[in-house]
Amino acid sequence: MNMLFKNTLTRNTLFKPSFMRFCSTKIGLEFDPHVKKHVSNLSINIYRNLKEASVRTDELNQQIMDMAESQMNVNPENIIKEIARISGRVSMFKELDESFQTIKDCEDILQTEEDSELKEMAQEELEEAIEEIEETQEKAVQELVPISELDEKNVTLEVKSAAGGSESALFADDLKGMYESYCRNQGWRWTQKHFSNDATTGKGCKYGKFEIIGTDAYGSLKHEIGVHKVQRVPETEKQGRIHSSTAIIIVMPIIPSTFKIDPKDIRIDTMRASGAGGQHVNTTDSAVRATHIPTGIIVVNKDERDQHTNKEKALEVMRERVYKHYAEIEMNEIRKERSSQMGTGNLGEKIRTYNWPNNRITDHRSGSQKFGIDSMLQGILLEEFIEELKEKEKEDLIQAVLEKNKQ
């Protein structure tokens, strides 16, 4: 820092009336209007949370000093452990506190000084302080919020047509193309595992299952889990009326090959399949229901005509669901330890609407709207939506931590 500028900062900080300095310390930098003008509410909330760790450390150090002065025969081991546990937060608080103070002092100079050189240096220092706050905030996020191991997993993505008949299958096929484009844009590997057209038209995607290999695949695509709605004029509509159709997206982390389910924990029941297929379907116990006894997870498969294939498919799905179940329990324990909570996706909720006539896409979780259906189907706007949702998830997790710590 330039010496002239440093002296100016010192003059502005130390030679103000004593009652002003007292008020500044008493109120706290997080309430200073100069600081609030340049930093986000999230940064301020993190500052307050880290400040509590700093105050707690002072209290603990005072306890150790009191014990030493009184010559009490007490082992301070637990106190020392707590100080060590929160030392990282204290260091980050000091970094934020210094940056907040720099912003405050620089704003004072910008508003009171007439020297253009000093004002230019103050502006540079202010911008550097803002960058440092962002860096410290990232470190604080890693400290406060648990990182889910699931986010790093490769995934299987399923696309299912839902309400709307053949138009739903056409929309599902559009979504399939959108995700394939997005994954290729990310440099991920996309492999088709299963695909079936609509039986009536021979077009679209009745059901598709795809394997995606790439960094942070689940962490990104889990935000797509749910019901997607389209509003447009179907190909078969003769009078130009707008119809609504839906498709469902399911994303599951690919489980490690080392994960096994004890066969003794699985109960298999067979039953007669229903639906198309004629007499063979009605007279053969080809459908399979697999129950994982410890968790109560039930998987039914009746897609194929032979029982053996249905059983294999049911057990494959069960293995995925049981793995996800236990992985989420483990992550919830970590979140509980760190006083954080995060909701799970609900397939019953409409998460996004694609309005063809208005060329508009609306995400109902973030409230974000974007225009450009073609850009969306190319995966370009989808990337923007996903990044916004990842940021929102991170902020929600941090806010949950901060709110919990206030209780």
| Domain final residue, candidates 94, 120, 144 | 144
From residue 180, alpha-carbon distances to 40, 56, 279 in Å are 36, 51, 39
Number of neighbouring beta carbons within 10 Å of residue 64: 14
If asked whether residues 136 and 154 sit together in one domain, one would say no
For residue 167, being part of any structural domain is answered with: yes
For residue 106, being part of any structural domain is answered with: yes
Kind and range of the H or E run holding 185: helix 165-185
The Cα–Cα gap between 45 and 402 comes to 7
pLDDT at 284 (0 to 100)? 59
The Cα–Cα gap between 299 and 318 comes to 6
Counting the structural domains of the chain, the total is: 2
For 244, the 3-state DSSP assignment is strand
pLDDT at 332 (0 to 100)? 60
Mean pLDDT for all residues in the chain: 80
- For the domain that residue 303 is a member of, what is the CATH number? 3.30.70.1660
Q: Residue 207: beta bridge partners? A: 160, 196
> Which range has the top average pLDDT, 3-7, 104-108, 252-256, 320-324?
104-108
If asked whether residues 66 and 121 sit together in one domain, one would say yes
What whole-number percentage of the chain has pLDDT above 90?
26
If asked whether residues 208 and 263 sit together in one domain, one would say yes
Phi, psi angles (nearest 5°) of residue 212 = -125, 120
| Domain final residue, candidates 144, 168, 202 | 144
Q: Supply the DSSP string of 282-313, one letter for each residue.
A: HHS--EEEEEETTTTEEEEE-SSSSHHHHHHH
For residue 338, being part of any structural domain is answered with: yes
Model pTM score:
0.57
If asked whether residues 236 and 251 sit together in one domain, one would say yes
For residue 407, being part of any structural domain is answered with: no
For residue 88, being part of any structural domain is answered with: yes
Higher pLDDT pick, 349 / 238: 238
Q: Where are the alpha helices (DSSP H) in 298-379?
A: 307-337, 373-377
If asked whether residues 180 and 311 sit together in one domain, one would say yes
If asked whether residues 170 and 99 sit together in one domain, one would say no
Lowest mean pLDDT among 34-38, 163-167, 192-196, 372-376: 34-38
Lowest mean pLDDT among 81-85, 199-203, 233-237: 233-237
CB burial of residue 66 (10 Å; 0-12, 13-18, 19+) = exposed
Q: Model confidence over 169-192: pLDDT tens digits?
A: 999 999 999 999 999 999 999 999
If asked whether residues 197 and 235 sit together in one domain, one would say yes
pLDDT at 70 (0 to 100)? 77
| Domain final residue, candidates 111, 144, 177 | 144
pLDDT at 11 (0 to 100)? 45
If asked whether residues 183 and 292 sit together in one domain, one would say yes
If asked whether residues 170 and 316 sit together in one domain, one would say yes
If asked whether residues 92 and 221 sit together in one domain, one would say no
If asked whether residues 298 and 157 sit together in one domain, one would say yes
Expressed as residue numbers, the domain containing 321 is 149-402
pLDDT tops 80 at residue 41: no
For residue 314, being part of any structural domain is answered with: yes
3-state secondary structure 84-136: HHCHHHHHHHHHHHHHHHHHHHHHHHHHHCCCHHHHHHHHHHHHHHHHHHHHH
For residue 110, being part of any structural domain is answered with: yes
If asked whether residues 124 and 194 sit together in one domain, one would say no
pLDDT tops 70 at residue 105: yes
Angle, alpha carbons 215-216-218 (nearest 5°): 125
What whole-number percentage of the chain has pLDDT above 70?
81
pLDDT at 248 (0 to 100)? 92
Closest Cα to residue 133, out of 213, 212, 69, 47?
47
For residue 84, being part of any structural domain is answered with: yes
